[in-house]
Structure 1
């Protein structure tokens, strides 16, 4: 059963006058889409309106996104001053992102840099990784390290150098390491809650207004496999 975020159960990791950072649950959509489901951005607005007794509409800027079945850190801007600065941080790769992924097959090396060219197919909302550049593709680079070997799975720590559509999912699948629960990219069965075991674990960046270092670590979802990763 999915535990969708509400204003009352929202997992807030950091907040000040300029931004709010939350731990996204599997099943949350960051922004509204064709499903018509209530997005996380609306939940955060309701939380802010109630906590700070704000009448009228609440300003909230979406800085980046995570796939719906993915969990972890999401940053929202609370002011029009902070939004373009946060957007620039992410666009210029000045925000250091670390992900954790649980896979069934052990990768060929303990640590490695993967470089592919990804091409998105809008019809099935899926990206395909190629070994060389082809028409319509974008270069994708990540580093992975085996962080822990579990009884039946492998925990990988991943650092992104680019931010492409379904990048981690597509690149890991290409080396035979599909993420647990990710049917779209080759895992053999789904998770009961429709999640995948991909978690935006850590984010480090310089505060866009205060110019101080911000380091956020998102607690893992509660399930036996993630519990074994601790």
Structure 2
């Protein structure tokens, strides 16, 4: 499988995750991204023995886009610390049903994950097992009953963007878990990890990569998003 490489050096590997591939091995036993990348590194660099590749964050299986991996234990430790301190900037694009009431804003919820059902719900702030989830959103454009949003994460909770946008009243197109009343079986979720900006964990210089969603419905409602030649993609949240 050809995995697009967005940036690579001795310490980092940033790639574009394909949709519907697990990041690491799960109960499905399907081939996972981490294994694919380790095998690729082993082949490209003719490395003997096991290849080290550190997983420092995740994307849900149906979601595609930019991800960062660590090629050294030093980089893995520093990247994990940067994520804990929220100094790696991660931005997403999402197509949601309807038009949010506000053009932009911050969502703060307290989330609880049901491990058995693999589903997250919004609970009261005083719930003993609740975890605080924060994101910023901006409506870039609305048309034909949908809106294109830019989303910036401040925390990295499971299913966070999906459940928070659904709780706002605007579930993501194709999300069978948090928008089943609006979405049809078989639709691909329209959530894409669009941009990662970080300081290199060793060289301390800025690294930024961008990944564009596929030119398929509903992304193609916004030609500017999927125009890979010009890459005129709305990026910033004010």
Q: Following superposition, which runs of at least 4 residues in structure 1 exceed 4 angstroms of deviation?
A: none
Helix, strand or coil at the partner of 2:218: helix
> How much has 1:219 moved relative to structure 2?
1.9
Helix, strand or coil at the partner of 2:40: helix
Helix, strand or coil at the partner of 1:81: helix
User: How many angstroms apart in 2 are the aligned matches of 1:175 and 1:15?
Assistant: 37
User: How many angstroms apart in 1 are the aligned matches of 2:188 and 2:71?
Assistant: 28
Tell me, yes or no, if the aligned pair for 2:65 and 2:211 is still in contact at 8 Å: yes
| Mean Cα deviation higher: 207-216 or 180-189 | 180-189
Which sections of structure 2, spanning at least 5 residues, go unmatched? 226-238
Q: How many residues align structurally?
A: 222
Write the mapping of 1:22-37 to structure 2, written as runs, cut at 5 A. Answer: 22-37=15-30
- Equivalence for 2:183: 189
User: How many angstroms apart in 1 are the aligned matches of 2:135 and 2:73?
Assistant: 31
Superposition RMSD on alpha carbons, in Å?
1.5
CA displacement 1:65-107 (0-9 Å, x = unmatched): 0000111111111112211011111111110111111001111
Which sections of structure 1, spanning at least 5 residues, go unmatched? 1-5
Tell me, yes or no, if the aligned pair for 1:180 and 1:191 is still in contact at 8 Å: no
- Equivalence for 1:3: none
TM-score scaled by length of structure 2:
0.88
TM-score scaled by length of structure 1:
0.91
Tell me, yes or no, if the aligned pair for 1:112 and 1:143 is still in contact at 8 Å: yes
Helix, strand or coil at the partner of 1:224: coil
CA displacement 1:171-205 (0-9 Å, x = unmatched): 1111111100001102422464x531111111111
